[in-house]
Amino acid sequence: MTFLEKLQARVQTANSLLCVGLDPDAAKIPNGLSYLEFNKAIIDATAEFVCAYKPNSAFYEALGPSGIEQLKATCDYLHEHYPELPIILDFKRGDIGNTNDHYASFAFDYLGVDAITIQPYQGRQAVQPFLDHADKGIIVLCRTSNEGSGEFQDMVLDGTGQELFRYVAQNVAREWNSNQNCLLVVGATYPQEMADIRRLVGDDMWFLVPGIGAQGGEIEAVLKAGGRHQIINSGRAIIYASSGDDFAQAAAAEAQRNRDEINKYRS
């Protein structure tokens, strides 16, 4: 089963476009729990409401070997207990080809994730080792949700009249997607640009949408701009909904609220 097949099956079964970011922060985790213990509690509480989970590698790498072990153990826990749920590794990697071979091996062979985020800056030839994994989702940074994203992404390219983010979207859709395994990162904080990208790439390409919740993106605007082929991510607003002993129950309530609000606008 490919990533998109697994995702679409889960979207239908759970009636959800919500993805939960598993980005643990020792300063915010209650009761001195380890990252793994915290993740397990969040997963068990929220699984029925989500279409995917998205751990960000940086939070685990910061701990060194113990963090990588807990990232691996989190992925193993999902594989064992929730095999129907896709895992997206927020990785944002991109380098020359032989380096990308090793990044891909870490993500797909060691961790066993179903999809990763990558940056397109070095071009198709460099990212081909990712694209060659036809059964995996390759999610390309396009229009990111951060406030300063326009510094480069809004630059108009000579000879095209297009901003860089639009050129990236068009190239990924037309040139990179021969295995039908490409998606785009399109931030919730830029709904007008999202609508433009949707017109460029068509209705069928999936977006991974950060920026809901703590960054201020609005669910109604996202659904109107991007359509129904979206994985809408929320991290901090869900996993830190409470700092007390009821953190898992609070996360479940917030996940359900987000899932239901998304569904209100999906039609």
Please state, in angstroms and rounded to a whole number, the distance separating the CA atoms of residues 24 and 63: 11
Q: Please list the alpha-helical segments (H only) found in 111-171.
A: 123-131, 150-153, 164-171
* Of 46-55, 132-141, 210-219, 227-236, the least confident: 210-219
Percent of the chain with pLDDT over 70: 98
Mean pLDDT calculated for residue range 67-76: 98
Write out pLDDT tens, residues 193-222. 999 999 999 999 999 999 886 666 789 999
Q: Is 92 a catalytic residue?
A: yes
Q: Which one of the listed residues 28, 40, 54, 92 is annotated catalytic?
A: 92
Q: What is the pLDDT, as a whole number, of residue 160?
A: 76
Mean pLDDT calculated for residue range 162-173: 92
Buried b (16+ CB within 10 A) or exposed e, 134-158: eebbbbbbbbbbeeebbeebeeeee
Q: What is the pTM of this model?
A: 0.95
Mean pLDDT calculated for residue range 55-70: 97
Residue that the structure tokens 């950060």 belong to:
210
Q: Is 266:223 a contact under the CB 8 Å cutoff?
A: yes
Residue 98 neighbours by CB under 8 Å, 6+ apart = none
**Cα angle value 159/164/165 (rounded, 5°):** 140
CATH T-level fold of 3-266: TIM Barrel (3.20.20)
Q: 156 or 21, which is more confident?
A: 21
Q: Is 246:214 a contact under the CB 8 Å cutoff?
A: no
Q: How far, in whole angstroms, is CA 260 from its chain's centroid?
A: 19
Buried b (16+ CB within 10 A) or exposed e, 245-262: eebbebbbbbbbebbebb
Please state, in angstroms and rounded to a whole number, the distance separating the CA atoms of residues 127 and 178: 13
Write out pLDDT tens, residues 88-139. 999 999 888 799 999 999 999 999 999 999 999 999 999 999 999 999 999 9
Q: What is the pLDDT, as a whole number, of residue 213?
A: 67
